[in-house]
């Protein structure tokens, strides 16, 4: 199953509380919560390029399954991460106390981030 495609954010749960816990300033949280976000994923075997565009902010991450890489977090901070594939439709990464799970089901991507007892969920559909 290939993740390649463009996906538009349809819904998100717990955005404000999660971003506050990450340390984002309130003005950025308020701006970010109502902006539609587009994720573009290019998968070439075990190599991934992910570009997330939210308004004027563009965040790009590239990684290879099973190899340590540097990833940009939502705060702009760059951290070391290792991404693993579970089955053929789930990407799991742990970065700086944050667990990220991206699951592809048909044309829908569910991205769940967990930090301590806080969970943030985004659902995006292929466009």
Is residue 96 very low, low, confident or very high in pLDDT (cuts 50, 70, 90)? confident
What is the sign of the dihedral through the CA atoms of 75, 69, 81 and 61? Answer: positive
CATH architecture of 5-126: Beta Barrel (2.40)
Beta strand 37-44 with 47-54: parallel, antiparallel or unpaired?
A: antiparallel
3-state secondary structure of 19: helix
3-23 pLDDT, tens per residue? 999 999 999 999 999 999 988
Residue with tokens 């340390």: 23
In angstroms, the CA 2 to CA 122 distance is: 19
Which pLDDT score is estimated for 52? 93
Tokens encoding 125: 């559909």
Domain ranges (residues) in the chain: 5-126
pLDDT of residue 86: 96
76: CB partners within 8 A, 6+ apart: none
Please give the pLDDT value at position 124. Answer: 97
């Amino acid at each position: 199953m290939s993740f390649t495609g463009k996906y538009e954010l349809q819904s998100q749960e717990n955005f404000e509380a999660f971003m506050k816990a990450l340390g984002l300033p309130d003005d950025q949280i308020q701006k970010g919560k109502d902006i539609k976000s587009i994720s573009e994923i290019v998968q070439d075997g075990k190599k991934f390029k992910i570009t997330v565009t939210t308004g004027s902010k563009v965040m790009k991450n590239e990684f290879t399954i099973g190899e340590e890489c540097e990833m940009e977090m939502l705060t702009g901070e760059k951290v070391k991460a290792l991404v693993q594939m579970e089955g053929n439709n789930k990407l799991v990464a742990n970065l700086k106390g944050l667990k990220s799970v991206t699951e592809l089901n048909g044309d829908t991507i569910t991205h769940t981030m967990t930090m301590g007892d806080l969970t943030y969920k985004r659902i995006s559909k292929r466009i």
